[in-house]
Amino acid sequence: MGNLRSSRLVTVVAFALSAWRSRRGNLPLPRLLTVAVLLYAVIQLLSRTGILNGYFMIIINRSLVFVILAVSLNLINGIAGQFSLGHMGFAAVGAYVSGSITTLIFMYTSEQVASIGGNIVFVIAIIVGGLAAAVVGFLIGFPSLRLKGDYLAIVTLGFGEIIRTILNNISVVGGPRGLLGIPKFSNFTNIFVFTFLTIVALRNLVQSSYGRALLSIRENEMAAELAGVNTTRGKVMGFAIGAFFAGVAGGLLAHLLQIAHPTQYGFYASALVLIMVYAGGMGSLTGSIIAAFFLTFLTEALRVGIDQLRDRVGIPVGTEWTMVIYALLLILVMLFRTDGLMGMREAKLLVIDERKK
């Protein structure tokens, strides 16, 4: 069995290397796909050999989920120029809808996660959860068109808390106990695939004519209207698309942790995603990806460090102190790196090539 797994890993690595070399041939693969295949193969190899144990793989999976949340919020706040504080409310909708489909409707258990039919239902549930979140994003975005800045932030924060409160009082999905018994369909492979597709979709969107229209709305809405840009449709669709991917991330997280609880999607989680966006750079997908990985690993390191400090010193210090550290980190970023880590810049890997004629 071990030899069979090793041979499969060698096959994956060999395929990745051949894909990398094929760039020099007549049929070059996109750089982003090539690097993604290589990264996937390396992480799988390290996981199978025991270098990355289950603990680190859980952190990596959570990091990938937060990448989806950060880049989708960056579309709303960074690209479209809106200010949303209730992004995790959309994730809650996706988590509960997808979790209800797999748990309450089809009644799958963790013993059935390897079945083909179960995985098909899982993918459909994730997409349906994302669509439900997109509908909520549309309903929030449309009546909020006349609001800007702090007023829009207050409205989105209120909507996020409304969603969380409603879910907390629906007994069908567990109420304050949360939705329990969700099958663990999420693993490194499908989370990695969903994250890759999200990055590619948003990369193509931002660098398209529609993305440039969103950027014009962010820079000067009145000038964009005079130039013929439909600002109403742009802002609403920006909210809806960002909410869709947040719902996808929420569904993946629920099927990873095997629970969807209202407290997971409160202001604390929304603030963490917002910090990722600002720390990475407003308008930079690359910055959001880097910040999502860094802050997710930092969160776990702080949790372990605070627990050890409490045990050794005896001071009643809780994990809520992580938000104090995040606030200080955000202040330092605003003082010494006002545009964030990447500003508006993107890594060459995320820039669409323009073929020279």
Predicted pLDDT of residue 318: 65
Residue 165: CA atoms inside 13 Å, Cβ hemisphere, count?
7
Q: Is the pLDDT assigned to residue 194 strictly greater than 60?
A: yes
- Tell me the C-alpha distance between 295 and 299, whole Å: 6
31-52 residue pLDDT tens: 889 999 999 999 999 999 999 9
Q: Is residue 267 part of a domain?
A: yes
Domain co-membership, 197 together with 108? yes
Domain co-membership, 44 together with 58? no
User: In the listed set 52, 72, 95, which residue is the last one of a domain according to the structure?
Assistant: 52
Predicted pLDDT of residue 177: 93
Q: Is the pLDDT assigned to residue 143 strictly greater than 80?
A: no
Predicted pLDDT of residue 227: 86
Q: Are 203 and 352 in contact (CB under 8 A)?
A: yes
Q: What is the DSSP code string of 287-356?
A: HHHHHHHHHHHHHHHHHHHHHHHHHHH-----TTHHHHHHHHHHHHHHHH-TTTTTTT---GGGSPP---
User: In the listed set 13, 36, 52, which residue is the last one of a domain according to the structure?
Assistant: 52
Q: Is residue 252 part of a domain?
A: yes
Domain co-membership, 129 together with 152? yes
Domain co-membership, 94 together with 149? yes
Q: At what angle do helices 149-168 and 87-100 cross, to 10 degrees?
A: 30
Q: Is the pLDDT assigned to residue 13 strictly greater than 50?
A: no
Listed range (77-81, 177-181, 198-202, 350-354) with the worst mean pLDDT: 350-354
Domain co-membership, 45 together with 166? no
Domain co-membership, 123 together with 270? yes
User: In the listed set 35, 52, 69, which residue is the last one of a domain according to the structure?
Assistant: 52
Domain co-membership, 242 together with 154? yes
Q: Among 27-31, 279-283, 336-340, name the most confident range.
A: 279-283
Query: What is the mean predicted confidence (pLDDT) over 240-256?
Result: 96
Domain co-membership, 160 together with 116? yes
% of the chain residues with pLDDT over 70: 88
Domain co-membership, 93 together with 4? no
Predicted pLDDT of residue 22: 45
Domain co-membership, 258 together with 171? yes
Predicted pLDDT of residue 200: 93
Q: Is residue 204 part of a domain?
A: yes
Higher pLDDT, 293 or 110: 293
Q: Is residue 355 part of a domain?
A: no
Mean pLDDT of the chain: 85
Query: What is the mean predicted confidence (pLDDT) over 154-182?
Result: 91
CATH number of the domain where residue 297 is located: 1.10.3470
* pTM score of the predicted model: 0.89
Structural domains in the chain (count) = 2
Domain co-membership, 29 together with 70? no
Q: Is residue 356 part of a domain?
A: no
Q: Is residue 357 part of a domain?
A: no
Q: Is the pLDDT assigned to residue 84 strictly greater than 60?
A: yes
Q: Is residue 116 part of a domain?
A: yes
Query: What is the mean predicted confidence (pLDDT) over 301-313?
Result: 80
Domain co-membership, 190 together with 123? yes
Q: Is residue 200 part of a domain?
A: yes
Predicted pLDDT of residue 18: 52
Domain hosting 17: range is 1-52
- Tell me the C-alpha distance between 90 and 130, whole Å: 8
